[in-house]
Amino acid sequence: MSRVQFSKELVERLNDTEAVTVLTGAGVSAESGVPTFRDPGGIWEKFKPEQLANFEAFMSDPDFVWSWYQHRREIMRDVKPNPGHYALAEMEKYFAVFNLITQNIDNLHHRAGSKKVIELHGNIERNYCIKCRKHFDDIDICRKQVLKCDCGGLIRPDVVWFGEALPYNALKNAEECSRNCGVFFSIGTSAEVYPAASLPLVAKQHYSYVVEINPKRTAHSELMDEVIEGRSGEVLPELLNFIKLNKIEK
């Protein structure tokens, strides 16, 4: 028996559409034990992401920022995908076109089996030299001081900080997928950080049915066609079952 109610309109849209696009944020990994950025409680109240997640902060105290990322790597290494990640990985089988865009850097969608993930804000499992851009992806997680490349450049995490451009191809693909889908899901994001937050708006402008899944209302809830208030680890497995049932009946 499903505890989540999906509207008749969503049923029809999911049955009629070939293409579904999903945008995920930190909330999708919350039930795995990865702290979100802007929810109450946790380390994010002590450090504002805007203060640490920027290039100036890294240049003024590289060891501090590096050790903060190493700490987060330890958290992310030890967690596992949750039922929400697995449901999204399985959902891609049920649509001719299924695009998963994430703002998360934790690699949990890949680890859950999602084949193609558009990573807007990079991936914490990678690093690169700020001078020559050579990659260094196997640095010991225990190393708390920043390393230098042979060229003398500092090595930084391959994530997108405030004020930095998103990876060009990832953003281009994400915009394209948002323009061309019948249903767009915005899941576990506060919708406060741009340009990612503009994607549901792009989808809506292109007549997609836009659905938010989040336990709390967000900056964008008013603009949504449907808001499902709940945790993604609970709602998404139910959504998957619901899609499976409807596709079988078709």
Q: Cα separation of 88 and 112, whole Å? A: 9
**Part of the chain binding Zn ion (CB under 5 A), chosen from 63-71, 123-131, 163-171, 203-211:** 123-131
Cβ closer to ligand BJW: 153 or 215? 215
- With binding defined as CB under 6 A, does residue 121 bind ligand BJW? yes
The number of residues making up the chain comes to 250
Q: Does 117 bind Zn ion (CB under 5 A)?
A: no
Contact between 16 and ligand BJW by CB under 6 A: the answer reads no
Would you call 206 a catalytic residue per the annotation? no
Amino acid at position 114, single letter: S
Q: In angstroms, what is the minimal distance from the CB of 173 to ligand BJW?
A: 17
Q: Does 208 bind ligand BJW (CB under 6 A)?
A: no
Quick check: 1 and 223 in contact, CB under 8 A?
no
Percent composition of the chain: helix, strand, coil (DSSP 3-state, to 5): 40, 20, 40
Residue 109 CB neighbours (<10 A):
27
Give dist(CA 97, CA 17) in Å, integer.
9
Q: How far apart are CA 58 and CA 238, in angstroms?
A: 42
The answer to whether residue 57 forms part of the interface with ligand BJW (CB under 6 A) is no
Q: Which is nearer to Zn ion, 153 or 167 (CB)?
A: 153
Q: Spot the catalytic one: 85, 110, 121, 220.
A: 121
Q: Which residues contact 198 (CB under 8 A, 6 or more apart)?
A: none
What the block records as the tokens of 211 is 């659905």
Contact 29, 231 (CB under 8 A): no
Query: Which range binds ligand BJW by CB under 6 A, 3-11, 28-36, 91-99, 239-247?
Result: 28-36
105 contacts 73 by C-beta, under 8 angstroms:
no
The pair of three-digit structure tokens given for residue 55, joined into one six-digit string: 């290039």
Sole binder of ligand BJW in the list 13, 21, 31, 170 (CB under 6 A): 31
* Residue closer to ligand BJW (CB basis): 52 or 96: 52
User: Binding residues for ligand BJW, how many (CB under 6 A)?
Assistant: 35
Least distance to Zn ion, CB of residue 130, Å: 8
Position 38 contacts ligand BJW (CB under 6 A): yes
Q: Which of 14, 20, 23, 53 binds ligand BJW (CB under 6 A)?
A: 53
Q: Which of 101, 124, 129, 199 binds Zn ion (CB under 5 A)?
A: 129
Distance CA 209, CA 226 (A): 8
Catalytic sites, residue numbers: 121
Binding site for ligand BJW (CB under 6 A): 25-27, 30-31, 36-39, 49, 53, 103, 105, 121, 159-165, 188-190, 192-195, 214-216, 218, 231-233
